[in-house]
Amino acid sequence: MSVTAQTVWNNCLLFIKDNIQPQAYKTWFEPIVAVKLTDNALSIQVPSKFFYEWLEEHYVKLLKVSLTKELGETAKLVYIIKMENTYGNKQPFTEKIPSSNRSAVKSQNVDVPLNNKNPELRNPFIIPGIRNVKIESQLNPNYNFDNFLEGDSNRLARSAGLAVSAKPGGTSFNPLLIFGGVGLGKTHLAHAIGVDIKDKYPEKTVLYISAEKFTQQYIDSVKKNNRNDFIHFYQLIDVLVIDDVQFLSGKSGTQDVFFHIFNHLHQNGKQVILTSDKAPVDMQDIEQRLLSRFKWGLSAELQTPDFETRVSILKNKLYRDGVEMPEDIIEYVAKNIKSNIRELEGAIISLIAQSSFNKKEINIELARQVVEKFVKNTKREVSIDYIQKIVSDYFQMDVDTLQSKTRKRHIVQARQLAMFFAKKFTKASLASIGSQIGKRDHATVLHACKTVDNLSTTDKQFRKYVEDLTKKLSV
């Protein structure tokens, strides 16, 4: 019976499978394809340069032993990297690289085709030119569970976070989606979960990244023709934390690549943690197949903290900073700043600074001055949903009527005003505004904004609508 590349590799796999964890075997050895056996050299095909680097870094001894058992001491191993060509050329990129092991696996000449002269390591978090496959977590150790105080507003999310950190990938909270308004602690809690997992499971690869940075890395990978390496890098992660996932809205290419990464991680028992400023049901311009996966696990909301929780947060902040403050001052600040934790802590920092710089005693009068200035200078975030509600109430109609297809003049004008103020008060794209206000396209929104501008200068009654709504939305 003749010895083929496939039979040699199958025997190697039997040995490898007995000597590593099932999950590692599935991730790193199942995708490998045996290509040919020539002069005691086994050629295997791997899907990316990063994949090859990882095998050489972590499994070269295992490969050496298994291959030596099959082919003897003169055995050689040649990697063939077959990468997806994201620019659509017919010929796939291939690169033959010998294994670096000098005994069982001997070095051969590198054959690199002209269309990719200098493939580099695809870890998007390291400085180009430095060869290093270690993945840093990007976590902030200052964001931990010790300083994320529990209250009625965050109990579910915090408890779910603790459950996930105790058993990442092993609970029904996968993915865990933490959502809520600005400054309520979504990023803090996401970091806290990652930090706790790193403490309990130092061998696990944990990675925190914002959706914005993830998108930029994906765009770079397409430009550099290494999309496959980008995907494989993220498939290495045991615990992936994506912050502000709503940023993927309208970005179909990034959503598609994240869909495949998410599927791989989830199917392999890896933990995914997401944060968003809204619940999945309220997300716009996110593909349905991705939204359905967001709902597989648990969506936990962070709400505005109640008075008792706000007092506890302030006391904890002061204790950590080594600052003493009278109880009545703490309660005054907590009572008057209700919107979110970020503003609450910002106010107490301002109060301490005012006292220190101006050599004034911290009393109720100083607290009142600081809080008044702070609240006055803090712009409240206005959402498109809120704008639609204010405009609908002003014109005495419900939001469904505002969003309807009717061409009645007063409803059309209300809808155009909602689009105008959404563009003025939010950072949403025209496409996103149109999608949220009756599923219109960006051209309709652009037309609405021009119409409002024109009518404001020619129609006295319409100008009053704009002035009244501006006051209501600027409060």
**Burial (CB count within 10 angstroms: exposed 0-12, middle 13-18, buried 19+), residue 378:** middle
What would the DSSP string read from start to end of 312-368?
HHHHHHHHHHT----HHHHHHHHHH--S-HHHHHHHHHHHHHHHHHTT----HHHHH
DSSP element (H, E) containing 133? none
Domains of the chain, each with CATH number or no CATH: 5-108 (3.30.300.180), 155-302 (3.40.50.300), 307-377 (1.10.8.60), 384-474 (1.10.1750.10)
User: By mean pLDDT, which of 53-62, 310-319, 368-377 is the weakest?
Assistant: 368-377
Helices within 72-185 (DSSP H only)? 155-166
Percent of the chain with pLDDT over 90: 17
**Mean of pLDDT values over 130-141:** 67
In 31-129, which ranges are E strands?
Answer: 33-38, 41-46, 76-83, 93-98
User: By mean pLDDT, which of 214-218, 289-293, 390-394 is the weakest?
Assistant: 289-293
> pLDDT confidence of 83, banded at 50, 70, 90?
low
Question: Is 90 labeled as ligand-binding?
Answer: no
Instruction: Tell me what pLDDT residue 101 has.
Output: 41
Taken in order 107, 108, 109, 115, the sign of the CA dihedral is: negative
> pLDDT confidence of 381, banded at 50, 70, 90?
low
> pLDDT confidence of 2, banded at 50, 70, 90?
low
Instruction: Tell me what pLDDT residue 334 has.
Output: 77
Higher-scoring residue by pLDDT: 48, 472:
472
Give pTM, 2 decimals. 0.54
Instruction: Tell me what pLDDT residue 348 has.
Output: 77
Question: Is 106 labeled as ligand-binding?
Answer: no
CA distance 415 to 418: 5
Instruction: Tell me what pLDDT residue 291 has.
Output: 84
Is the pLDDT score of 13 beyond 90? Answer: yes
> pLDDT confidence of 250, banded at 50, 70, 90?
confident
Is the pLDDT score of 409 beyond 50? Answer: yes
**Contacting residues for 145 by C-beta, under 8 A, at least 6 apart:** 158, 161, 162, 165, 192, 195, 196
Residue with tokens 């390496």: 229
Question: What are 343-359's pLDDT values in tens digits?
Answer: 777 777 777 777 677 67
CA distance 402 to 73: 78
**Mean of pLDDT values over 105-119:** 32
Crossing angle between the packed helical segments 307-321 and 327-336, to the nearest 10 degrees: 130
User: By mean pLDDT, which of 270-279, 294-303, 336-345, 462-471 is the weakest?
Assistant: 336-345
CA distance 225 to 214: 16
Instruction: Tell me what pLDDT residue 448 has.
Output: 93
CA distance 444 to 433: 10
Quote the DSSP letter at residue 405: S
Instruction: Tell me what pLDDT residue 128 has.
Output: 41
pLDDT, mean over the chain: 79
**Mean of pLDDT values over 457-469:** 91
Residue 201 corresponds to which tokens in the numbers above?
Answer: 């499971």
**Burial (CB count within 10 angstroms: exposed 0-12, middle 13-18, buried 19+), residue 369:** middle
Question: Is 185 labeled as ligand-binding?
Answer: yes
Percent of the chain with pLDDT over 70: 84
**Mean of pLDDT values over 246-269:** 87
**Mean of pLDDT values over 466-472:** 90
Rounded (10°) CA dihedral 407, 409, 415, 417 = 150
What would the DSSP string read from start to end of 263-277?
HHHHHTT-EEEEEES
Instruction: Tell me what pLDDT residue 95 has.
Output: 40
What would the DSSP string read from start to end of 374-394?
HHHH-PPP--HHHHHHHHHHH
> pLDDT confidence of 283, banded at 50, 70, 90?
confident
Tell me if residue 472 falls in helix, strand or coil.
helix
**Mean of pLDDT values over 367-385:** 68
Is the pLDDT score of 363 beyond 80? Answer: no
**Mean of pLDDT values over 30-52:** 84
Higher-scoring residue by pLDDT: 389, 367:
389
Instruction: Tell me what pLDDT residue 194 has.
Output: 92
Question: What are 204-235's pLDDT values in tens digits?
Answer: 889 999 988 899 888 888 888 888 888 888 88
Higher-scoring residue by pLDDT: 107, 472:
472
> pLDDT confidence of 121, banded at 50, 70, 90?
very low
Alpha carbon of 284 to those of 12, 15, 281: distances in Å? Answer: 49, 49, 8
Most confident of 272-281, 414-423, 439-448: 414-423
Instruction: Tell me what pLDDT residue 106 has.
Output: 32
Question: Is 181 labeled as ligand-binding?
Answer: no
